[in-house]
Amino acid sequence: MITHRDDGYELSVDPDRLDVGLVHHWLSADAFWALGRSRETVERSVRASLNFAVYETAGGAQVAYARVVTDWTTFAWLCDVYVAPAHRGKGLGTWMARAVRDHLAPYRLKRVLLTTLDAHHVYAKAGFEPFPNPERLMILNQAP
């Protein structure tokens, strides 16, 4: 799947186009939720996920990334959404969230979950809303 925007960006789910080294740098050095994440961890997570990336149409440089962990039947988790600083404010995060929503729609999943500290407005534009019963959510933290 490749989609284009008139302002010089294209979105792809082709894993062979990903610049995993760049994704590792973004996540481990600039994303507060993944600071210090190892290259091996990023590589393993990329291999086990559905990956979305945005590229500049001219030149093909990767400028954004998101991944989805899913069983393709009942559940998906949208995570590691990152837009390079020079490309923020152009709606690329919302575009990726909508692409995830649309890509997963045929699977009729019961729930697509994400967590965000400060980008609720980005995901709301793609139809995400606050979890209705957060007291039902639990977490098991095992690894540092």
Within 10 angstroms of residue 1's Cβ, the number of other Cβ atoms is 10
pLDDT value at 144 more than 70: no
What's the mean pLDDT in 50-61? 96
* Strand 50-56, strand 9-12: pairing: antiparallel
pLDDT for 141 equals 83
pLDDT value at 2 more than 80: no
Q: Where are the beta strands (DSSP E) in 59-110?
A: 62-70, 75-83
What is the model's pTM? 0.92
CA angle 37, 15, 89 (to 5 degrees): 70
pLDDT value at 48 more than 90: yes
Orientation of helix 39-47 relative to helix 20-30, angle to 10°: 120
The tens digit of pLDDT for each residue in 27-43 reads 999 999 999 999 999 99
Within 10 angstroms of residue 36's Cβ, the number of other Cβ atoms is 9
